[in-house]
């Protein structure tokens, strides 16, 4: 257990949705203390003015421009920057010797050659890729324990990999031809306004996007060691991801046996609920808990695995705090909600 008192914490890129979610979660954390929060586009703005929901916990916090001098005396840094921006900052963080939890995709992929393919540009710090643990504790906890740098998974891969990994790792499904259909709330697109994420564009609509080339496909392929056909959808809700995953069993498999695979893998996990019912995004709202279930269709032979998460908590900031707890020697559940908001 961590025995050195409060952990001085900085958040680089704290003005977006993952940043405000980090601030919300850390406000209830007994060991993490936010000593700075940057937001270059909001520098000089009080966090409580941009997000009134933070006013009670952070009445005097002002977003600062990024400056390496902010690292003085800091133990742990979260990065909530846009994809591609962490690469320019992480080398200086490594030099400063702080623990790093990056919520962007910059250090998730092991192969530097995958970044031009999926993110459209060369990686500027490829020598650091192998130094980051992949921050999905339920699947990679042994890699995270003792690490000082963690790359938090994307929201879609968190849901899809939690659903499918127990079956893939047990050799119970074919590794080619896996399908992941997933729907996300609009907060997954970030805070800056976009023509396709305004209220009028999203309300009363449901659409697929990123057809055949969504960047999170690379994480699904990497974690599962498979070839995944991934189709994301935008749903008219603020938060949540529902992933419906399809795979061909390698042998005889029943629904009861499939559920037992999930129970065997997750019953000791504090942030995964295996349910016989159908998971829903509402059941995970505001919590760091994933809900999963499975069915085997005797008519077609397909295995169907469904996972629901809150994309901003278990799919981003909550998982980041979970990983920060692990690398800091704290109990993994510290400061994290397991019960969702309802109604």
Active site residues: 155
Say how far apart CA 45 and CA 47 lie, in whole Å: 6
Sign of the CA dihedral 72, 74, 75, 80? negative
Q: Is the peptide bond before 123 cis (omega within 30 degrees of 0)?
A: no
Are 304 and 294 spatial neighbours (Cβ–Cβ below 8 Å)? yes
Phi, psi of 249 (to 5 degrees): -65, 150
Helices within the chain (DSSP H only): 17-27, 47-50, 86-96, 114-119, 137-144, 155-169, 199-202, 217-224, 255-266, 318-327
Can you say whether residue 331 is alpha, beta or left, with left for phi > 0 and alpha for psi between -120 and 50 degrees?
beta
Strands 32-38 and 7-12: parallel
Tokens of 102: 């990056």
Residue position matching structure tokens 């009028």: 200
Give the list of residues 6+ apart from residue 328 with CB closer than 8 angstroms, or none.
Answer: 2, 7, 31, 75, 76, 99
Strands 303-309 and 241-247: antiparallel
Give the list of residues 6+ apart from residue 268 with CB closer than 8 angstroms, or none.
Answer: none
SS3 16: coil
| DSSP string covering 221-258 | HHHHTSEEEEEEEE-SSSS-EEEEEEE-BSS---HHHH
């Amino acid at each position: 257990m961590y025995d050195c008192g409060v952990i001085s914490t900085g958040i680089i890129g704290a003005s977006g949705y993952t940043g405000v979610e980090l601030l919300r979660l850390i406000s209830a954390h007994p060991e993490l203390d936010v000593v700075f929060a940057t937001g270059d586009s909001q520098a000089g703005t009080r966090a409580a003015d941009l997000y009134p929901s933070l006013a009670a916990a952070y009445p005097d916090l002002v977003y600062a421009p990024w400056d390496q001098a902010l690292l003085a005396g800091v133990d742990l840094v979260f990065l909530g920057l846009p994809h591609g921006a962490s690469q320019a900052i992480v080398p200086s963080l490594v030099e400063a010797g702080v623990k790093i939890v990056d919520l962007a995709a910059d250090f998730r992929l092991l192969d530097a050659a995958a970044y031009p393919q999926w993110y459209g540009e060369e990686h500027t710090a490829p020598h650091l890729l192998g130094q980051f643990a992949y921050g999905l504790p339920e699947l990679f906890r042994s890699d995270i324990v003792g690490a000082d740098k963690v790359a938090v998974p994307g929201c879609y891969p968190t849901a899809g990999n939690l659903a499918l990994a127990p079956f893939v790792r047990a050799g119970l499904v074919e590794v080619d031809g896996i399908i992941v259909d997933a729907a996300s709330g609009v907060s997954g697109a970030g805070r800056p306004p976009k023509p396709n994420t305004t209220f009028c564009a999203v309300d009363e609509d449901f659409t697929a996007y990123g057809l055949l080339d969504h960047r999170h496909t690379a994480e699904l392929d990497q974690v599962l060691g498979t070839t995944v056909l991934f189709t994301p959808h935008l749903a008219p809700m603020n938060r949540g991801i529902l992933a419906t995953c399809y795979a061909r069993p390698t042998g005889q498999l029943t629904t009861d046996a499939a559920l037992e695979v999930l129970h065997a893998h997750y019953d000791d996990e504090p942030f995964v609920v295996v349910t016989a019912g159908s998971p829903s995004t509402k059941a995970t709202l505001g919590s760091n808990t994933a809900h999963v279930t499975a069915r085997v269709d005797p008519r077609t032979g397909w295995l169907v695995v469904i996972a629901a998460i809150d994309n901003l908590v278990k799919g981003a900031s909550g998982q980041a705090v979970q990983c920060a707890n692990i690398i800091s020697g704290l109990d993994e559940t510290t400061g994290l909600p397991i019960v969702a908001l309802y109604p």
